């Protein structure tokens, strides 16, 4: 039993508390004994981290619980330290090109707030409408923009973090550049709550782009689609979005509603340009490139509204895949040239385990999200599903890739991390954790700590 300081705002309703015991990861269940603190400010985080270290209580830092790999699931006897109420947008400064926000600010809210000032905060995870900036930092979230704009790490200048024991540390800078000692900020990107709790984020902003236009192309072979991706990446003005869907993903979208995606093709690519003054010209050129590389059909949006309509199917994809049934989402990123092998060998190995898999995601980055369908409550199905999951992770590593492009490792992928990064790097990650968290109370069992 955890005997929290009474001043800390804990959740007492058991049903509400249970909802804070899990994130969005497959098959997550809350433990019996845990507490949830919904911090109101940095002082609450300091008090909780002071108490937790003194009593050696594991702390699970938590944002909006949209994570897919179990990094924000309560463990037995833990303190969930939720920061979604630290949701103030303190500063949006277009001259300095930065914003200062609480970790609980919802990604989409930040994007809207800076847009008013003519600026853009590019990272756009699929969960942007509900995920928080703090969680985006903790997982180094990506999204549909990465081919042109990169990931969350590319937009973080500095952090305020609270370490175990309650020490408050400020990292990084507010200036455009700095080269002053070791980069502590970068360590927190993708750290998944293993080093401390983020209480403030200084983001970089860029000038807002133009409203994009979209082209949707269909292919009757995966190889042709992959070749089109390579060709688009070689364009002197590459796309701002380049998404891939295989036949089963397209079918799932169309099963949800008619988004106008053609059935009976092997794959589809969605491509956008947001380049000021050139969206139409770029999109037409992308269409030509895809036709040259074997697209059987290309639909071109004439205006922003049509472009949105074409993209709506992609935006509905996660819901469509959910509607198909329970599925475990992979997140591998491989070299662009290895994409066809990832798709084809991934399908083959899933078939070998007798589980269905859909392949879709950020093709332009080599970053796909295979969804593996199985019943986690049925032991045989569960065993086959997780075996396929493990084999897919190994396939990504064998292809020179990573087992996580943008979701993080969490608990679910922790068993495979060593194979990717090697003993030497893993040992250093663990030793660095001990620098920040000598008693190992921050999210134990997650990612490289497992």
Please say which residue, 194 or 327, places its beta carbon nearer to a second copy. 194
* 367 binds a second copy, rule: CB under 8 A: yes
Q: Enumerate the H helices of 266-413 as residue ranges.
A: 279-292, 304-315, 317-324, 339-352, 379-398
- In angstroms, the CA 17 to CA 31 distance is 11
Please say which residue, 104 or 408, places its beta carbon nearer to a second copy. 408
* 345 binds a second copy, rule: CB under 8 A: no
Spell out, one character per residue from 304 to 343, where the chain touches a second copy: x when CB under 8 A holds, - when not: ---------------------------x-xxxxx------
* 415 binds a second copy, rule: CB under 8 A: no
- In angstroms, the CA 355 to CA 223 distance is 23
Tokens 């919802």 — which residue?
A: 106
Q: Enumerate the H helices of 131-220 as residue ranges.
A: 133-139, 146-149, 184-188
Comparing CA positions, the residue from 111, 95, 310, 305 lying closest to residue 218 is: 310
Give CA separation, 195 vs 221, 279, 349, in Å.
45, 42, 36
**Interacting span for a second copy (CB under 8 A) from 30-38, 265-273, 303-311, 426-434:** 426-434
- In angstroms, the CA 307 to CA 303 distance is 6
Instruction: List binders of a second copy among 249-288 (CB under 8 A).
Output: 276-278
Spell out, one character per residue from 390 to 409, where the chain touches a second copy: x when CB under 8 A holds, - when not: ----------xxxxxxxxxx
The least CB distance from residue 383 to a second copy, in Å, is: 25
* 439 binds a second copy, rule: CB under 8 A: no
* 64 binds a second copy, rule: CB under 8 A: no
**Interacting span for a second copy (CB under 8 A) from 34-42, 47-55, 145-153, 378-386:** 145-153
Instruction: List binders of a second copy among 86-125 (CB under 8 A).
Output: 94-97, 118
406: which 2 tokens?
A: 């943008």
Q: Which residues pair with 368 in a beta bridge?
A: 332, 361
Instruction: List binders of a second copy among 179-198 (CB under 8 A).
Output: 179-184, 186-187, 189-191
Torsion sign, CA atoms 83, 86, 87, 92: negative
Q: Which residues contact 412 (CB under 8 A, 6 or more apart)?
A: 25, 26, 69, 70, 328, 389
The least CB distance from residue 10 to a second copy, in Å, is: 28
CA dihedral 65, 137, 409, 32 (to 10 degrees): -30
* 203 binds a second copy, rule: CB under 8 A: no
- In angstroms, the CA 165 to CA 163 distance is 6
**Interacting span for a second copy (CB under 8 A) from 14-22, 76-84, 134-142, 368-376:** 134-142
The least CB distance from residue 199 to a second copy, in Å, is: 14
263: which 2 tokens?
A: 């059935």
Strands 371-373 and 356-358, by their bridges, are antiparallel
Please say which residue, 119 or 310, places its beta carbon nearer to a second copy. 119
* 147 binds a second copy, rule: CB under 8 A: yes
**Interacting span for a second copy (CB under 8 A) from 106-114, 139-147, 266-274, 304-312:** 139-147
The least CB distance from residue 151 to a second copy, in Å, is: 6
Give the CA diameter of the chain: 67
The least CB distance from residue 365 to a second copy, in Å, is: 4
């Amino acid at each position: 039993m955890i005997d929290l300081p009474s001043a800390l705002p804990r959740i007492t309703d058991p049903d509400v508390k249970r909802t804070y015991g899990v994130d969005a990861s497959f098959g997550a269940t809350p433990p019996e004994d845990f507490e949830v603190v919904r911090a109101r400010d940095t002082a609450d985080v300091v008090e909780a981290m002071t108490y937790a270290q003194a009593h050696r209580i594991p702390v699970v830092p938590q944002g909006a619980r949209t994570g897919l790999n179990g990094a924000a699931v309560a463990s037995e006897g833990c303190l969930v330290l939720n920061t979604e109420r630290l949701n103030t947008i303190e500063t949006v400064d277009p001259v300095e090109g930065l914003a200062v926000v609480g970790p609980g600010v919802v990604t989409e809210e930040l994007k809207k707030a800076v847009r008013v000032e003519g600026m853009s905060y590019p990272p756009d995870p699929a969960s942007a409408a509900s995920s928080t900036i703090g969680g985006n930092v903790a997982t180094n979230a990506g999204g549909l923009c990465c081919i042109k704009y990169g990931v969350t790490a590319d937009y973080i200048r500095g952090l305020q973090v609270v370490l175990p024991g309650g020490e408050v540390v400020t990292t990084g800078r507010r200036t455009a550049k700095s080269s002053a000692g070791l980069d502590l900020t970068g360590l927190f990107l993708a750290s998944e709550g293993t080093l401390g709790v983020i209480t403030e984020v200084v983001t970089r902003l860029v000038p807002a782009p133009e409203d994009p236009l979209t082209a949707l192309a269909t292919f009757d072979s995966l190889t042709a689609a992959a070749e089109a991706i390579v060709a688009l990446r070689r364009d002197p003005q590459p796309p701002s979005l380049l998404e891939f869907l295989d036949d089963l993903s397209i079918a799932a979208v169309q099963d949800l509603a008619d988004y106008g995606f053609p059935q009976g093709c092997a794959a589809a690519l969605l491509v956008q340009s947001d380049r000021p003054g050139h969206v139409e010209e770029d999109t037409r050129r992308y269409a030509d490139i895809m036709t040259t590389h074997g697209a059987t059909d290309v639909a071109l949006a004439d205006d922003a509204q049509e472009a949105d309509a074409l993209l709506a199917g992609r935006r509905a994809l996660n819901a469509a895949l959910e509607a198909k049934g329970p599925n475990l989402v992979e997140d591998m990123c491989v070299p662009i040239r290895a994409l066809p092998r990832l798709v084809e060998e991934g399908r083959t190995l899933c078939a070998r385990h007798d589980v269905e898999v859909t392949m879709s995601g950020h093709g332009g980055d080599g970053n796909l999200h295979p969804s593996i369908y199985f019943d986690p409550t049925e032991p045989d199905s569960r065993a086959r599903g997780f075996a396929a999951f493990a084999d897919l992770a190994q396939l990504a590593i064998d292809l020179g890739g990573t087992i996580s492009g943008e979701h993080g490792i969490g608990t679910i992928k922790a068993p495979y991390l060593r194979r990717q990064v090697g003993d030497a790097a893993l040992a250093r990650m663990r030793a660095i954790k001990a620098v920040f968290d000598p008693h190992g109370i921050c999210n134990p069992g997650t990612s490289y700590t497992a």
